[in-house]
Amino acid sequence: MMTRRINIFNQLFFISISLLFHLLPIQASPVFAAEKVPVVGVVSSSHPLATEAGLSILRAGGNAVDAAAAVQFALNVVEPQSSGIGGGAFILVYMAKTHQVYAIDARESAPQMASADQFIGHSFAENSSSGIAVGVPGTLAGFNALITQWGRMSLGQVMQPAIHLAEDGFVVTPYLAKALADPRGQLMRAPHSPFFNADGRPLKLGERLVQPELAHTLTLIAKEGVSLFYHGEIAQAIVATQRQSRMGPAGWGRMSLADLANYHVFIRKALNFDYQGYHLVGMPPPSSGASTLFETLGLLAPYAGQENWRDPVFRDHLSLQALSLAFKDRGDFFGDPEQMQIDPQAVLNTAFLKQRSHSIVLGKLPSDRVLPPSPSGTNTTHFSIVDKEGNVVSCTSTIEELWGSGLWVPQYGFLLNNELTDFDANPTLANGQASPNQVKPGLRPRSSMSPILVFKNDQWILAYGSPGGPTIISTLVEVTQGLLDLHDAPQQVINTPRYAVMNATGFTLIESSFPKPLRSNLEALGHHFTLNPLAQGSVQAVGLDETYHYYWGAADPRRDGSVGYQ
């Protein structure tokens, strides 16, 4: 694995949140064309205020990298239940001038005192809401490294929109209001928590959320740099906060000041895959998202060119099986690259895919046992950005479950992740072999997060991704098929009701809007479905229209998504 460490020290303008697909009516050309004509930057995120934060940086002369940092810090303010400086991120960056892609791993890591058996003997609910689940946060270090390497602005500059949002407050949106009313929201009943009124009631839709402690923290970091977070007073507060537990001493957090001081960001060699004339680029391990997505697409490639591929029954019948096969390999082989036994490209080998595809059944499936999935956090976020020069960022970031661990850092106003529950609770697989995703000191848990970039004829054309834990992979299979196989309109693709294969047994969730005739036809072929009352994923995409040469954006109506043009 080609890996390089980076030291961590080296209301508004937006496109209507009605989320109707919008194309800016101008003639624009990609930077790749020989003739230079005006182009515009596009930001797609899960919240209009975060979108506006990115746009403000583009207008001020920043590039897509600077705008991405501004979006992430703003999301910490307006979508604190999903991501923030207490969590981690995977970031893909394409720099148009050099035609280079960089894969930034700012995933949370296990502290040095972590052990393979630390989650055994306690329920997932206990583990996930105790300090033992908190990984060393990487988001701040990741975005600091990002702008230092490829940005034009300082950390202090890109933090300004988030600081103002935290200081001035904003109106609670539908998605945030729903998250505040969720039972996990009760975990945050810490003194001075800004998410509750004086009577203890969580803020509701239309009420104003002001976060002075978070504003103070972001201001300190903007002035003094990330060393304050990884070495100074904020580090001390993080360590103290994660020494909380719902299950006694066994649940105390094991992170030390040394763990924070030693955190590092990786620039990893991106995962590459060719599909139907397109070149796809994704994150390598510890992400398993791109590998599982690409393996699924590879298993389906022989069928994708057939005339009946547009038939959703035929396409979904094969796709559900391919996803189950790819999930089997995900569980058997993938984890932190330091404890994997195979090269991640191995499952994308033509011979391997051909052999694996023999398990796909064209007719009715044999009756088989369908097991529910292991618990996994689904409350993540994704955003995609392209600037007028053609630089692109596709980022998925998280604090794992809704409200992370629920541990709110007093006086500093941010939540800590519960990312370590993404490790396998049992260090041994069902076949008796050691899990490639067992808890080990300093390693990073396997993730499904999958920021994606797509190229055609050496030209960038797409950036997209989604939150949703294991559902991310199925969501991106469906979106990739809609965009690259069927060539449907991006907003139509994003709005389409989804299924989500969750494990190797074929346990599959479907959204309540999933078409009933399609469900019945698939069930007749042997598939089993479980209705998911929650929306699955939230895709944010930007792209290049290859015919008319303009950049476009599309955002998912499943959250408070929005698209904005510079």
> Tens digits of per-residue pLDDT, 155-213?
999 999 999 999 999 999 999 999 999 998 888 776 678 999 988 899 999 999 999 99
Q: Are strands 3-6 and 278-282 parallel, antiparallel or unpaired?
A: unpaired
Judge whether residue 430 has pLDDT over 90. no
State the pLDDT at residue 375. 61
The structure tokens listed for 43 are 């930001």
Residue 129 — φ and ψ, nearest 5°?
Answer: -115, 25
**Per-residue pLDDT tens digits for 225-272:** 999 999 999 999 999 999 999 899 999 999 999 999 999 999 999 999
Query: What confidence score (pLDDT) does residue 94 get?
Result: 98
Residues 419-433 have a mean pLDDT of 90
- The span from the CA of 132 to the CA of 80, in Å, is 21
* Separation between Cα atoms, residue 344 and residue 136, nearest integer Å: 25
* Active site (annotated) includes residue 380: yes
Complete domains list, the chain, with CATH: 42-267+380-422 (no CATH), 272-370+448-554 (1.10.246.130)
Percent of the chain with pLDDT strictly greater than 70? 92
Q: How confident is the model at residue 548 (pLDDT cuts 50, 70, 90)?
A: confident
At which residue do the structure tokens 């990741």 appear?
142
Query: DSSP string of 484-509?
Result: IIS---HHHHHHS--EEE-STT--EE
Burial (0-12, 13-18, 19+ Cβ within 10 Å), 446: buried
Taking only Cα atoms into account, the Rg of the chain, rounded to an integer number of angstroms, comes to 22
Does residue 529 sit in helix, strand or coil? strand
Position 378 scores a pLDDT of: 65
| Nearest by Cα to 221 from 208, 238, 239, 209 | 238
Helix residue ranges, H only, 273-349: 289-304, 312-333
Report pLDDT for 2.
41
Which member of 217, 380, 398, 480 is catalytic? 380
Give CA 420 to chain center in angstroms: 16
- The C-alpha atoms of residue 164 and residue 162 are separated, in whole angstroms, by 5
Confidence of residue 38 (pLDDT cuts 50, 70, 90): very low
For residue 361, pLDDT beyond 70: yes
User: How far is C-alpha 473 from the chain's CA centre?
Assistant: 11
Share of the chain above pLDDT 90, in %: 83
**Residue 200: how many CB atoms within 10 A of its CB?**
8
Q: Is the pLDDT of residue 501 over 70?
A: yes
Q: Residue for token digits 């995409």?
A: 541
Q: What pLDDT does 193 receive?
A: 85
Question: Does the pLDDT of residue 290 top 50, yes or no?
Answer: yes
Give the number of other Cβ atoms within 10 Å of residue 340's Cβ: 20
Cβ–Cβ contacts within 10 Å for residue 197, how many? 10
Query: How far is Cα of residue 520 from the mean position of the Cα atoms in its chain?
Result: 32
Residues 291-339 have pLDDT tens digits of 999 999 999 999 998 889 999 999 999 999 999 999 999 999 999 999 9
Q: pLDDT tens for residues 447-479?
A: 999 999 999 999 999 999 999 999 999 999 999
